[in-house]
Structure 1
Amino acid sequence: MGVWNLKRLAAAGMATVLAVALAACFVLPGKFAETLDIRKDGRFTYTYTGEIMVLGLTKLATMADAAKGTFVPGPCFADDVSGETRECSKDELAQQKADWEADRKAGEASRKERDTGMMALLGGIDPSDPCAGEELAERLRKQAGWRSVIYKGDGLYAVDFAMAARLDHDFAFPTMERMPMLIPFLTINRRADGSVRISSPIMDNQGSGAQGAGMGGLAAVMASDLGASDAKDPGLTSFPKLDGTFTLTTDAEVLANNTEDGPKADPAGKRLVWKMNIQNPAAPMALLQLVQ
């Protein structure tokens, strides 16, 4: 296979990687502090302070188009064996450009389909609208628990969320009105025997992939495939790096957990702490026994 064809496949592959990231990792954490306090009688308080990123509102979508590149003539070869290059004829250059144009037109159709799908994921918000980011912020401010939502641009939000309730039902964060496809950062599931399981689905699903290895790992893939100059693109440098702590306090019995140090004494009973970053993308998990 010629170098020209390899370049075409590499560009198409990168566009695919970015499209998958948009769909599978739709809302991601950035820098954050997350706390959960659960009392053995079922009362709980949850807070999340820090960054969230909505990928459908970032430059990532346009980068998927840019990954197709601009037309650059590929080499022509003297034969199929030696690998020696020669000057391309006008007809060969014309064919290369025709192939590139065909790929670009196919990409335009894919982009329109992608934008329609992203609008559905955003609950009807048009990601191409300059006001889309603030429109989503205003929608979140109307939901209970979102004490502060500040849109910082390029899909990035600074948020302050707090919720206090009783565990007579499951709980998940975040939930966003008219956007049911989100993978939660945290879930609390109540079991019939009175125990509760705390976990992080976003890390379970993405911990060794786009989220855990992570957003920085995805940027490294882009850098190697698109070249060092592309790695400096604002769409990459503004991509949030996972960097947070999750602190669980409880007076309930801790049946299981996957912290490095286990439960520690705390005025609230026991304390468990998880540090999450691209070097340590393990998904937090704990199982507590409440008093029925």
Structure 2
Amino acid sequence: MTMFSTIRLRAAAVLTGAALALSGCFMTPGKFTSELAITGPDSFTFSYEGEIFFLGLSKLAQMDAANPEAFTPNCYDDETFESRDCTAEEEAIQREEWEAGAAERVEQAKKQAQQMAALMGGIDPSDPKAAEELVRLLQRQKGWDRVVHKGDGVFDISYRVSGTMGHDFTFPMIEGFPQTNPFVQVFLRKGSQVRINAPGFAAQSTDSGGLGTVLGAGSFAGLAAMGAAEQSREAGQNPAAMPGVPVMDGTFTVRAAAGMRILANNTDEGPVAQTGGEALIWRINPRTAQAPTALIAAAP
């Protein structure tokens, strides 16, 4: 891979990451198992076991031009784009331009930190104890039975909640956080129908080469894939992995109890008969292009 490509990919990752974070799209699943059971016309149980990645608390989000140690001279051939050593004059010019923008970068970094804190319920992501604050915040909420920070923005989660179908449901819902990054949504329709969407359990890639724009459906999963293949290919590593960002890998199951009908779904295999009803099963990974969806209704 050329140095020019590396520069573009790194810049794209940082800028896109900032844009996603500041628009509220800053969470993605890692390895997980999730289940939504429609146990009756007016009751449900939902669970999520596994990893959740918070971009704002990761090293990737902290990559910014305000760090003076981040300066690296970059020169490449104008025709082939192959990397080459910079001349002393080229390096001096690049360093001068870098230093000239230092104050602006510092101010921009402060502004982004304030915006991120507003999105994270007042938690300052630059605070070394930010992860501990988030753990305490989640543990106060019902359903979050286990919240452990594994490092670099990755949390090990055990969530389980049961309730009535008298209202819509979204996961995750975090106090003070914007509701713009849902993994799973349940919408109630008239006629005892339930619409289920899981936008956070999908990612879309435009090509196998890794250079296309990747957008997750309300998640950071797509950005984790963008550039990962290129960077890891250069290092001779697994292109599916990007240091610090967990690979989305899991299973989402929707169960419909006896007396409930599955009217529509986009699984590969369709409903599977099980004791006490039927189940829909989606196997989720970075190649999952369509978000799981289903429509379930009470039998007449």
Q: Which moved more, 1:128-137 or 1:170-179?
A: 128-137
- Give the secondary-structure state (helix, strand or coil) at the position aligned to 2:185: strand
Looking at structure 1, the residues matched to 88 and 277 of structure 2 have their Cα atoms a distance apart, in angstroms, of: 78
Looking at structure 2, the residues matched to 56 and 32 of structure 1 have their Cα atoms a distance apart, in angstroms, of: 20
CA apart distance, 1:69: 4.1
So what's the TM-score if we normalise by structure 1?
0.81
Looking at structure 2, the residues matched to 238 and 137 of structure 1 have their Cα atoms a distance apart, in angstroms, of: 19
Among 197, 200, 212, the alignment partner of 1:199 is 197
1:116 correspondence with 2:114: yes
Among 88, 98, 101, the alignment partner of 1:100 is 98
Q: How does 1:213-252 map to 2 (within 5 A)?
A: 214=222, 216-220=224-228, 223=231, 228=235, 236-250=242-256, 251=258, 252=260
Asked whether the equivalents of residues 216 and 278 of structure 1 are also in contact (C-alpha less than 8 Å), the reply is no
Change (3 A) 1:243 1:13: closer
Q: How does 1:270-285 map to 2 (within 5 A)?
A: 270-285=278-293
So what's the TM-score if we normalise by structure 2?
0.79
Higher helix content, 1 or 2: 1
Looking at structure 2, the residues matched to 35 and 180 of structure 1 have their Cα atoms a distance apart, in angstroms, of: 23
Asked whether the equivalents of residues 11 and 68 of structure 1 are also in contact (C-alpha less than 8 Å), the reply is no
Encode CA deviations 1:130-177: one digit per residue, 9 max, x unaligned.
111011111111111111111222111111111111111000111001
1:72 correspondence with 2:73: yes
1:48 correspondence with 2:48: yes
- Give the secondary-structure state (helix, strand or coil) at the position aligned to 1:61: coil
CA apart distance, 1:47: 0.7
Report the AA paired with residue 56 of structure 2: G
Change (3 A) 1:68 1:201: farther
Looking at structure 2, the residues matched to 249 and 291 of structure 1 have their Cα atoms a distance apart, in angstroms, of: 15
Looking at structure 1, the residues matched to 99 and 150 of structure 2 have their Cα atoms a distance apart, in angstroms, of: 36
- Give the secondary-structure state (helix, strand or coil) at the position aligned to 2:61: helix
CA apart distance, 1:193: 2.4
Q: What is the Cα-based RMSD across aligned positions, in Å?
A: 3.5
1:269 correspondence with 2:277: yes
Encode CA deviations 1:177-231: one digit per residue, 9 max, x unaligned.
1112441110100012221100013246x54434477354134267289x649x8
Report the AA paired with residue 265 of structure 2: N
Encode CA deviations 1:77-136: one digit per residue, 9 max, x unaligned.
9xxxxxxx9x9685x654433222234443322211111111111111111211110111
Max radius of gyration: which structure?
1
Report the AA paired with residue 31 of structure 1: K
Among the aligned pairs, what percent are the same residue? 35
Asked whether the equivalents of residues 26 and 182 of structure 1 are also in contact (C-alpha less than 8 Å), the reply is no
Looking at structure 1, the residues matched to 68 and 293 of structure 2 have their Cα atoms a distance apart, in angstroms, of: 38
Asked whether the equivalents of residues 147 and 157 of structure 2 are also in contact (C-alpha less than 8 Å), the reply is yes
1:22 correspondence with 2:21: yes
Looking at structure 2, the residues matched to 288 and 5 of structure 1 have their Cα atoms a distance apart, in angstroms, of: 50
Asked whether the equivalents of residues 42 and 290 of structure 1 are also in contact (C-alpha less than 8 Å), the reply is no
Aligned length: 278
Where do 5+ consecutive residues of structure 2 fail to align? 79-83, 206-213
Change (3 A) 1:182 1:67: farther
Asked whether the equivalents of residues 14 and 64 of structure 1 are also in contact (C-alpha less than 8 Å), the reply is no
